[in-house]
């Protein structure tokens, strides 16, 4: 089987409400998503999506995905999409780095491989059933009262795990946010305080050693070294996210005792192949993981839910579904959706979500025949 054509679409995905990231770094109102379809000479086609979470969250941006395809797509034409390790090696030697560009190509190859094998992706990743996994809300930063109102709204939709964004300019308000939210949380609910790297190590140690709450704290500081420094001086379990770019970062985090868990995001790591390597390592060392993508429609969300559903319960916390923050749904009726706080991956072979050219409109690029 050979890849014969790669078709690329761009779509703006407007957010239902402007999103404020911790640390006052930005407010954004739309995401720039790229959809691809890989066609093969045997009639099978696979879909992928790359949708960075704005352009200030990670070294990734929407137009960069399409620019990278100009180099990567021609190299993949003629390759067997089922040779995932070879496909990833070829992408890495053709364009070192730039993991977010490779992720949708890897995703579409997995979709084809699953279809060729007659297996859904959760089974390809080692799962034994289309397991319903917990989904978590994402609570934009604000006053403690505003954030609690958002948590109440999310709870009404079935969410029992919440990711509350903190890390503002005023440390006192962060302390208030943590104490107010932690103590008001409904029974059976969990919260992670996501600092999105806004604190210096000194602030992190001061805040976390002054609050009573012992909930998870995510990415307190910019770098892995700084987070490891904090982890050794506080009692809260630490989750790492933005500073984890490749397998070595995870190995280092384990060696440095920097965290008790990580966010596994295929688009940040370079695709499902590399996300699965990290997931498997995390299971080996006993980490607890949130498995979700960086952003995008229900197509990208569903790919991550396949990986989450194949992860042992003890190592899986929850998964965030970006598409509930969007006012546009380019794959209506398809994929893993929130059903009272749970999402279930499709049972059909492959990814189980297909883009619709009638909805996506004219392609922005076509590589191959
Ligand atoms: Mg995070």
Average pLDDT, the chain: 96
**Residues in the chain, how many?**
369
Q: Give the model confidence (pLDDT) of 71-97 as tens digits.
A: 999 999 999 999 999 999 999 999 999
- Do residues 280 and 146 share a domain? yes
The reported pLDDT for the residue numbered 25 is 63
Same domain, 83 and 146: no
User: Are 248 and 238 contacting, i.e. CB atoms less than 8 angstroms apart?
Assistant: no
Q: Are residues 288 and 244 in the same domain?
A: yes
Residues 138 and 177 in one domain: yes
What Rg do the C-alpha atoms of the chain give, in angstroms?
20
Residue carrying the six token digits 């379809």: 37
| 138 CA to centre of ligand 1 in angstroms | 9
Q: Is the pLDDT of residue 330 over 90?
A: yes
For ligand 1, a single-atom ion, the residues with CB < 5 A are 194, 241
pLDDT tens sequence across 179-221: 999 999 999 999 999 999 999 999 999 999 999 999 999 999 9
Cα(219) to centroid of ligand 1, in Å? 7
Within this chain, do residues 310 and 163 fall inside the same structural domain, yes or no?
A: yes
Distance CA 68, CA 96 (A): 11
Same domain, 183 and 73: no
Taking 80 as the threshold, does the pLDDT of residue 233 lie above it? yes
CA of 241 from ligand 1 middle (Å) equals 5
pLDDT the model gives residue 27: 73
Does any domain span residue 353?
Answer: no
Distance 333 CA to ligand 1 centre (A): 28
Residues ≥6 apart with Cβ < 8 Å to 96: none
Q: Is the domain of 47 the same as that of 143? A: no
Instruction: Report pLDDT for 34.
Output: 98
Note the pLDDT of residue 14: 97
Domains identified in the chain, total number: 2
Does 105 map to a domain? yes
Please give the distance, rounded to the nearest whole angstrom, from the Cα atom of residue 19 to the centre of ligand 1.
Answer: 14
Same domain, 204 and 310: yes
Query: Is residue 140 included in any domain, yes or no?
Result: yes
CATH label of the domain that carries residue 276: 3.20.20.120
pLDDT grade for 169, boundaries at 50, 70 and 90: confident
pLDDT band of residue 293 (cuts 50, 70, 90) is very high
Q: Which secondary-structure segment (H or E) carries 174?
A: helix 171-184
What confidence score (pLDDT) does residue 140 get?
87
Q: What tokens appear for 70 in the block? A: 């100009």
> Does 22 have pLDDT greater than 70?
no
Decide if 27 is catalytic: no
**Residue 277: predicted pLDDT:** 98
Query: Do residues 210 and 233 share a domain?
Result: yes
Do 86 and 181 lie in one domain? The reply is: no
Residue 13 lies in a domain: yes
Q: Do both 163 and 218 map to the same domain?
A: yes
Percent of the chain topping pLDDT 70: 98
User: Is the confidence at residue 257, as pLDDT, over 90?
Assistant: yes
28 and 9 inside one domain = yes
**Which one from 102, 131, 265, 274 is the annotated catalytic residue?**
265
Distance 56 CA to ligand 1 centre (A): 13
265 is an active site residue: yes
- Note the pLDDT of residue 23: 58
Q: Which of 102, 131, 165, 263 is catalytic?
A: 165
How far from 58 is each of 55, 118, 240, 243, 258, CA to CA, in Å?
7, 35, 14, 9, 20
- Looking up residue 41, the CATH number of its domain turns out to be 3.30.390.10
Mean pLDDT value of segment 110-125? 98
Which residues form the domain of 176? 123-343
86: in domain: yes
* Pair type for strands 365-368 and 3-21: antiparallel
Count CA within 13 A, CB hemisphere, residue 364.
15
């Amino acid at each position: 089987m050979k890849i014969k054509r790669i078709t690329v679409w761009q779509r703006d995905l407007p957010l239902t409400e402007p999103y404020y990231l911790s640390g006052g770094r930005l407010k954004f109102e739309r995401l720039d998503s790229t959809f691809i379809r890989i066609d093969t000479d045997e009639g099978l086609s696979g879909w992928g999506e790359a949708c960075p979470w704005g352009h200030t969250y990670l070294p990734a941006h929407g137009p960069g995905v399409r620019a990278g395809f100009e180099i990567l797509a021609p190299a993949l034409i003629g390759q067997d999409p089922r040779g995932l390790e070879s496909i990833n090696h070829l992408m890495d030697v053709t364009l070192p780095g730039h993991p977010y560009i490779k992720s949708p190509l890897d995703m579409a190859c997995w979709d084809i491989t699953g279809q060729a094998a007659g297996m859904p992706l959760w089974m390809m990743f080692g799962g034994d059933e289309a397991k319903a996994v917990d989904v978590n809300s994402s609570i934009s930063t604000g006053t403690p009262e505003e954030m609690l109102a958002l948590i109440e709204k999310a709870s009404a939709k079935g969410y029992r795990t919440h990711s509350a964004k903190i890390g503002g300019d005023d440390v006192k308000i962060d302390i208030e946010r943590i104490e107010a939210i932690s103590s008001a949380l409904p029974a059976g609910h969990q919260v992670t305080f996501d600092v999105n790297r806004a604190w210096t190590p000194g602030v992190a140690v001061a805040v976390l050693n002054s609050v009573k709450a012992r909930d998870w704290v995510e990415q307190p500081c910019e770098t892995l070294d700084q987070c490891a420094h904090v982890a050794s001086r506080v009692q809260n379990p630490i989750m790492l996210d933005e500073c984890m770019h490749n397998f070595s970062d995870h190995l280092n985090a384990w060696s440095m005792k920097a965290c008790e868990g990580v966010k596994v995001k295929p688009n940040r790591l370079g695709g499902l192949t590399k996300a699965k390597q990290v997931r498997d390592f995390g299971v080996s060392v006993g980490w607890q993981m949130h498995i979700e993508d960086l952003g995008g429609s229900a197509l990208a969300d569903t790919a991550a839910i396949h990986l989450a559903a194949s992860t042992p319960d003890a190592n899986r916390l929850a998964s965030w579904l970006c598409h509930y923050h969007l006012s546009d749904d380019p794959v209506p009726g398809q994929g893993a959706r929130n059903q009272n706080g749970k999402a279930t991956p499709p049972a059909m072979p492959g990814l189980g979500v297909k883009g619709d050219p009638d909805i996506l409109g004219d392609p922005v690029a076509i590589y191959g025949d």
